Chains A and B, each alone.
Chain A
Amino acid sequence: MNSRMTKWIVNGLLVTGSVVTLLPLAWMLSASFMQPGEASHAPPPLLPAHATLANYRELFLRAGMGRYLLNSFLVAGTITLASLAFNLSAGYAFAKLRFAGRERLFQLVLAALLVPLQVAMMPLFLLMKWLHLVNSYGGVIVPALATALGIYLVRQYVRSIPDELIEAARIDGAGEWTIFLRIVLPLLKPMSVTLAVLTFLASWNDFMWPLIVLSDQAWQTAPVALAGLSREHVQDNELMMAGSVVTILPVLLLFLLLQRQYLQGLLLGSVKG
């Protein structure tokens, strides 16, 4: 086989693959602008005959999607910022500070990486009920404040920072928190961005636990509310497509913006197995 033909095959397959992969997302966008009922025709229309914003209007004015998106933003945003603070400080301490039982505790953190969260969900629900956190943002936020994966990733990254840097500041009489905030944290910026985008996407897309702990519609995140809506509006294709668009758009944009950092984090995280 000559290399020119191979080149055509390789690129042809890649283009086909990309188009087929993106087709469902493109059709979602297109159908979200169709008139109600328009998508339910055979053969299925690829583009709206007369584009309309009616579905989006219905979605925000009648179905209350604005509230659910706001819930999602608040929950995912809080989890991202707070867990960053918890994981960065703990990961740093596991890498650079000395305290009794450090290695054994870190072994426990590694073991926690292997525990599937679903096992914990039944007692966690009872705990949340007891803490009066069911049907509140807190019910989703509090358990996500620290993650074993986050601590692990930060620790691995911090180990590459030379000890001399920290020792020098210590000799100058700086306190441990001053050293962390002034010297270490600026060096952790790339890691923080990676961790932040991983966390935000994961909490935005999370479904099972928010479904369990947020049964009251007022507090539901976008995916949970969308699942509920889709069970009520089985026939309203176009409305549901608009709902999917606004749910996916924030994470997709964030990913496109911080793709390099996200993929880096994904690769680091996959090594844990």
Chain B
Amino acid sequence: MRSERAAWTFVAPALVVLGVFLVLPVCAALLLSFTDFDIYALANLDNLRFIGLANYVDVLRTPLFWKVLANTVWFVVLALPLSLALSLGAALLLNSPLARFKGLHRTALFAPVVTTVVAVAIIWRYLFHTRYGLINYALSHLGIGPIDWLGDPHWAMPALVLFAVWKNFGYNMIILLAGLQAIPQDLYEAARIDGASAWRRFWHITLPGLRPVLLLVAVITIAGYFQLFAEPYVMTRGDPLQSTVSVLYLMYEEGFKWWNLGRACAIAFLLFALILVITRVLLRFARAKDERA
């Protein structure tokens, strides 16, 4: 088969790259998570031992793991509704027939998404400065005393949330905007003729029409926010009192600071099992609701 051989010359390069640099490492990571691969094994592979599930048991017994898991979940719980509400609001405004300069506003609201997270994290670190930051300066006009955003364990994570939402809401806004534009206009026309108020039109036409898109956006956002890393790395280094260490941050430190690669792999698999379970449950929940409706 001459054409079959030709076809392989098209796919082989890409498949080799994906196979060697993605599939192989993922499989190796699973194996590695069952070993005590550490700095001694890095020097000499004779020091490598198979230890079964010991890494997983160990990690699950470490209080720090539960703390960083709680930190990460807290971050997602705060950031997800805020991001969804803000992006839905922005999309509704941009979709309004009354809005002017739509292209300009869309670009402005989307701009943070394309910026480099490290660079904008540096800006926000100064915006959050207790004495010189613009945020406390603005709050002082509302009569709110200075908040030690990045130095107070109670405020550090909410500060990262504000930053992350600012950085990401434009992405969801674009997807929701496309979803809004796909809702047939005659539905609104019919509702208007029937005398339905703006609020009722939103509740009975917009939201149901947007449901699949909202679900998609929620799943993407949850998966993305669980991978919190660069924000605490630049803004807080996990401080104060380890209140902003995320699961990926812990994985990075275990793996590439202490060179416990086996443990780091176990942490990675635990995190991604969690993401998978949460997004699957969410999808199943939505589907079950669809069937009942």
Contacts and interface: CB of A to CB of B under 8 A. Distances in A.
Interface of A: 3, 6-7, 10-11, 13-15, 17-18, 21-25, 27-28, 31, 39-44, 86-87, 89-90, 92-94, 97-100, 105, 108-109, 112, 115-127, 142-143, 145-146, 148, 151, 175-177, 180, 201, 204-205, 207-208, 211-212, 222-224, 226-227, 230-231, 237, 240-241, 243-244, 247-248, 251-252, 255-256, 259, 262-263, 266-267, 270-271, 273
A108 B264 CA distance: 26
Interface in B201-249: 216-217, 219-220, 223, 227, 229-230, 233-234, 237, 248
A21 B32 contact: no
Main secondary structure of the interface of B (DSSP, over half): helix
B114 A39 contact: no
B32 A151 contact: no
A270 B22 CA distance: 21
B234 A227 contact: yes
B45 to A, nearest CB: 10
Given A11-B99, A14-B99, A180-B10, A207 B118 contact: yes
B84 interface: no
Given A98-B4, A212-B256, A227-B234, A11 B108 contact: no
Nearest to B218: A273
A210 to B, nearest CB: 10
Contacts, number: 269
Contacts of B10: 89-90, 92-93, 97, 176, 180
16 contacts: A14-B93, A22-B108, A89-B13, A115-B22, A124-B21, A126-B28, A127-B24, A146-B17, A176-B7, A205-B117, A207-B116, A247-B119, A252-B111, A252-B115, A267-B174, A270-B217
Interface string B132-158: 111001000000000000000000000
B3 A176 contact: yes
Q: Ordered nearest first, which 9 A-B pairs have the shortest CB separation?
A: A93-B10, A90-B14, A123-B28, A120-B25, A146-B14, A18-B108, A244-B119, A97-B7, A176-B6
A248 B115 contact: yes
A127 B21 CA distance: 8
B264 A122 contact: yes
A42 B230 contact: no
A106 B255 CA distance: 32
B116 A251 contact: yes
A122 B174 CA distance: 34
A209 to B, nearest CB: 11
B252 interface: yes
Contact of A124 (B25, B251, B272): B25
Nearest to A20: B166
B93 to A, nearest CB: 5
Contacts of B264: 122
Contact of A244 (B18, B120, B134): B120
A251 B116 CA distance: 8
Interface string B1-39: 001101111110111011011111110110010000000
Given A123-B24, A255-B114, 11 more contacts: A10-B96, A21-B108, A90-B10, A93-B7, A99-B4, A112-B18, A115-B22, A122-B29, A127-B21, A208-B229, A252-B111
B127 interface: yes
Given A24-B123, A25-B111, A27-B123, A222 B116 contact: yes
B126 interface: yes
A125 B116 CA distance: 23
A2 B222 CA distance: 39
